[in-house]
Amino acid sequence: MSAGPTSGAVASTTGAAPAGAVLLEVRDMTVAFGGVTAVNGLSFDGHQGEVLSVIGPNGAGKTSAFNCITGFYKPSAGRVLFDGADITGQRPARIAGRGVARTFQNLRLFGELTVLDNVRAGMHVRLRQNAFDAILHTPRYHRSEQEATDEAHRWLDFVGSTGDRGSAVRNLPYGEQRRVEIARALAREPKMLLLDEPAAGLNHGEKDQLLDLLRRISRLGTAVVLIEHDMGLVMEVSERIVVLNYGKEIADGTPHEIRTNPAVIEAYLGSEDAEARAEAEQVAQMSDEEIFGEREAQS
């Protein structure tokens, strides 16, 4: 078993592919629910070590696309390739085993389990234990359990979790629970991490911490794919942005290209959804210096 974030083990698990290599290939993906076509012929790539955001007004098909990539839905048509392998329609556990981890729009932690056990649950697939070890509690089993506990602590440190790690996770404030969910996903040492609206419900300070965390995850060599409505965060953290509207991709480019793309502005401003219009206004009011200056200063 690897030794967690402080050892640099995560970067090594991202495989031999060179930085920037294509990791995820979504090809002509369609997702239909009865009469509703949630995703309509979507194609995009995700690259190793990249922060990619998928944005679009409510109902644009972002979560449905995530669900297909991670095996929670089967696409009605099209293919998903990850790290060169066709994963279309595979079960979530199989896809996770290939190095794809995710978090959910609505938290999916084991509420009654401790914070520590929630994170340890994220790494059980990697533990070198067999039934023999587990039943007889062999020295190898104890060693492996201790290593898992140590590693869970390191991931919780990494995400900046400060809550009581021995208490039930449901007792933690919401922002803390979000961090624990990310720690659990990272404990799988994924090649790619998909985050569905990680800033939802966070206060200003927590969003700043999330921005910093996303950058640190990216520096580990893990590709990050983000669904997010907070346009300030999206513009600041993303290397590339894919924009969906009514299930179709309407743009794919850098934050600057997306911010000035007339089709994107129209999709947001033309939306009946007040939240989407507010997002568009938020971005329109930001200057390039405001969005990119801080990033350049830190890079």
Ligand X SMILES: Nc1ncnc2c1ncn2[C@@H]1O[C@H](COP(=O)(O)OP(=O)(O)OP(=O)(O)O)[C@@H](O)[C@H]1O
- Which amino acid type is present at position 250? I
Q: Are 190 and 99 in contact (CB under 8 A)?
A: yes
How is 67-133 classified by DSSP, letter by letter? Answer: HHHTTSS--SEEEEEETTEE-TT--HHHHHHTTEEE--SS----TTSBHHHHHHHHHGGG----HHH
How many other C-beta atoms are found inside a 10 Å radius of the C-beta of residue 224?
24
Query: How far is Cα 80 from Cα 44, in angstroms, rounded to an integer?
Result: 10
Quick one: angle between helices 274-285 and 262-269, nearest 10? 140
Q: Which is nearer to ligand X, 61 or 122 (CB)?
A: 61
Q: Which residue has the tokens 């300030």?
A: 232
| Complex with ligand X: residue 49 or 57, whichever CB lies closer | 57
Q: Which is nearer to ligand X, 120 or 229 (CB)?
A: 229
CB of 72 or CB of 126, closer to ligand X: 72
Query: Can you name the residues that pair with 47 across neighbouring β-strands?
Result: 22
* Cβ-proximal residues to 223 (8 Å cutoff; 6+ apart), any chain: 14, 23, 24, 46, 47, 48, 49, 50, 51, 52, 191, 192, 193
Instruction: Report, in Å, the least distance between residue 256 CB and ligand X.
Output: 23
Q: How far is the CB of 62 from ligand X (least distance, A)?
A: 4
Rounded distance between C-alpha atoms, residue 70 and residue 93, angstroms: 9
Query: To the nearest whole angstrom, how small is the minimum distance from the Cβ of residue 58 to ligand X?
Result: 3
Shortest CB 9 distance to ligand X, Å = 33
**In this structure, how many other beta carbons lie within 10 angstroms of the beta carbon of residue 94?**
12
Q: How far is the CB of 70 from ligand X (least distance, A)?
A: 13
- If the CB atoms of residues 33 and 174 are measured against ligand X, the closer one turns out to be 33
State the nearest-atom distance from the C-beta of 268 to ligand X, in Å: 12
Tokens 């720690």 found at: 183
Q: Which one, 222 or 271, has the nearer CB to ligand X?
A: 271
In the complex, the smallest distance separating the C-beta of residue 161 from ligand X, rounded to whole angstroms, is 26
Binding site for ligand X (CB under 6 A): 33, 36, 38, 56, 58-64
CB nearer to ligand X: give 6 or 58.
Answer: 58
